């Protein structure tokens, strides 16, 4: 009976700790936050409004520009047009209008006066009459992204003209045009439509990870560094509640606020893609997928709030705590930059690396790929493990006596 009574007392003490400690502090912080309606509106609605508008707006702008470049007449300066009149007429039939040659084509292309310039070799006509490959040169700047479509249009038109001319040469000599094709190459792209759409939304994981990482930043900084600066933290620490319970309540409040902001962003994405024009309906954010996205981002919300709590407990003012924000906002972009410079295949260890793990998990969900139980286990274990480690470090700072002393 004594052992059972002791166990029940311990359980009751833990329940009272959460009821009167963690949850009480969380309710208090959330109640104080929601009194500031302007801050709440900015924190909850800025992301859901800005991110979908940014994605859909940029997507619509890129699609409109690509359609314009594909359908409009391409003005092409041609050097040595008199050497290949048939080629020039063929290009004109492909909606490519030849223009007079510029004085300095290299400079004009670098200064973006023209997207591409065609130079026909001086001995083009002689080589053509001798049934030898006739030389043409494309002058363009590969570092200019907006010149990619015009260059591809010209390259495709020249390739088609060369194939047609080669076939006619073979027929004039009584041979089959297919004699020159020793191989018949077939291609099969196994990429699913979801995977191809995922390539267009490669930047979406960064936005979601950033939103989860700093979604509760204002609340975390205010409830620790802010209260310390306002000298309202000392009375709270003087209450009978354990300091770890007070800290946990603040982290819980920030986590709930961050998850609410994240949920609104995901719902905004769902509605935006649902009502967008058909060409812009890149992802079908179903309810199961939305729940999986929330589960994936939950460890990042916890890591962000505990890390900011650790930073806020180690500084003396709100301004000093906010000075870390510029550096923290760069952390989620590191995996994207690394993968662009050095692409790697999926491996299990990647699901244990902060930020990289979230990037890989989100890409899998966007591409509608299967996530194995082992990958889920490694991801959640590493994510919550790091959150627990940061919580322990922050708890040590909360037990310092000088925490309640402002600058």
Give the model's pLDDT for residue 108.
Answer: 86
Give the model's pLDDT for residue 279.
Answer: 55
Mean pLDDT per 10-residue interval, the chain, length 407 residues: 49 49 77 75 74 70 66 83 87 87 86 87 84 85 81 87 78 66 61 58 77 81 77 72 80 86 84 66 72 90 89 80 81 76 79 89 84 93 93 83 60
Nearest alpha carbon to residue 214 among 248, 268, 258: 258
Give the model's pLDDT for residue 14.
Answer: 47
Give residue limits of the domains in the chain. 8-62+194-404, 74-186
Q: What is the pTM of this model?
A: 0.67
- The CATH T-level fold of domain 74-186 is abc type-2 transporter like fold (3.40.1710)
Angstrom distance (rounded) from CA 22 to CA 155: 66
Contact 144, 175 (CB under 8 A): no
Angstrom distance (rounded) from CA 308 to CA 306: 5
Give the model's pLDDT for residue 17.
Answer: 46
Give the model's pLDDT for residue 18.
Answer: 47
Pairing, β 96-99 against β 74-79: parallel
Give the model's pLDDT for residue 388.
Answer: 92
Angstrom distance (rounded) from CA 279 to CA 61: 12
């Amino acid at each position: 009976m004594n052992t059972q009574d002791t166990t029940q007392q311990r359980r009751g003490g833990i329940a009272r700790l959460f009821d009167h400690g963690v949850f009480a502090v969380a309710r208090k912080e959330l109640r104080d936050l929601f009194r500031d309606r302007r801050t709440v509106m900015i924190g909850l609605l800025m992301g859901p409004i800005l991110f979908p508008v940014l994605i859909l707006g940029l997507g619509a702008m890129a699609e409109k520009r690509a359609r314009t470049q594909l359908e409009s007449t391409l003005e092409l300066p041609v050097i040595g047009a008199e050497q290949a009149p048939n080629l020039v007429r063929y290009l004109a039939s492909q909606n490519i209008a030849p223009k007079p040659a510029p004085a300095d084509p290299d400079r004009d292309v670098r200064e973006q006066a023209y997207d591409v310039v065609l130079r026909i070799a001086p001995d083009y006509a002689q080589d053509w009459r001798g049934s030898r490959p006739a030389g043409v040169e494309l002058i363009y700047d590969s570092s200019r992204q907006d010149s990619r479509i015009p260059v591809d249009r010209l390259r495709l038109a020249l390739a088609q003209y060369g194939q047609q001319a080669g076939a006619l040469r073979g027929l004039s000599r009584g041979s089959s045009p297919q004699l020159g094709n020793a191989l018949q190459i077939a291609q099969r792209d196994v990429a699913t439509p979801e995977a191809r759409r995922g390539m267009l939304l490669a930047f979406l994981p960064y936005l979601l990870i950033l939103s989860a990482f700093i979604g509760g930043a204002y609340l975390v900084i205010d409830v620790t560094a802010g209260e310390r600066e306002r000298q309202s933290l000392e009375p709270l620490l003087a209450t009978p509640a354990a300091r770890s319970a007070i800290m946990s309540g603040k982290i819980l409040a920030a986590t709930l606020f961050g998850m609410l902001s994240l949920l609104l962003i995901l719902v905004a994405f769902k509605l935006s893609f649902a009502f967008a024009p058909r060409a812009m309906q890149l992802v079908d954010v179903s309810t199961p997928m939305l729940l999986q996205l929330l589960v994936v981002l939950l460890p990042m919300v916890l890591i962000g709030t505990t890390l900011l709590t650790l930073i806020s407990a180690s500084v003396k003012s709100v301004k000093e705590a906010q000075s870390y924000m510029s550096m923290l906002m760069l952390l989620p972009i590191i995996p994207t930059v690394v993968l662009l410079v050095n692409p790697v295949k999926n491996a299990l260890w990647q699901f244990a690396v902060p930020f990289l793990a979230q990037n890989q998990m989100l890409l899998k969900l966007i591409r509608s790929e299967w996530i194995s139980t082992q990958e889920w286990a490694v991801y959640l274990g590493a994510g919550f493990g790091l959150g627990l480690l940061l919580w322990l470090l922050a708890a040590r700072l909360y037990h310092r006596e000088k925490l309640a002393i402002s600058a």
